[in-house]
Amino acid sequence: MGQVQAKFKSLARDCGRASWQWQDEAFEHRLRVRESVEAYGFYVFMNPYRAGLCSMSERWPWWFCPDPAVFGFLGSRNADGSPPVEWLAEAGRNEPLINTRE
């Protein structure tokens, strides 16, 4: 999967036609046994809001979760799919544990 993603990123950079860009030094992460799927899902969900790419009053259009039951926090979103404003403060405090030594 990593090779496919690397090739996709490479092609996207080379073409230069996309209106978006890959974040420099971005990497994929495999969760370890002691890492919380819920915490990591919340972290990923809140990234565009924390980065200011999307207003807290709107739904991030590129969020996709094939099985929303996996993440309990998704049931607490606003009716339009946007996160409650209080989540922004919580997202900054509760970054998931990422052990880079393994």
Rounded to two decimals, the pTM is 0.65
pLDDT at 45: 92
Q: What is the pLDDT of residue 77?
A: 94
Q: Per-residue pLDDT tens for 32-56? A: 888 888 888 898 899 899 888 889 9
Across 17-25, average pLDDT: 60
Q: How far apart are CA 47 and CA 53, in angstroms?
A: 9
Domain residue ranges of the chain, discontinuous segments joined by +:
32-93
Among residues 34, 40, 32, 28, the alpha carbon closest in space to that of 70 is found at 40
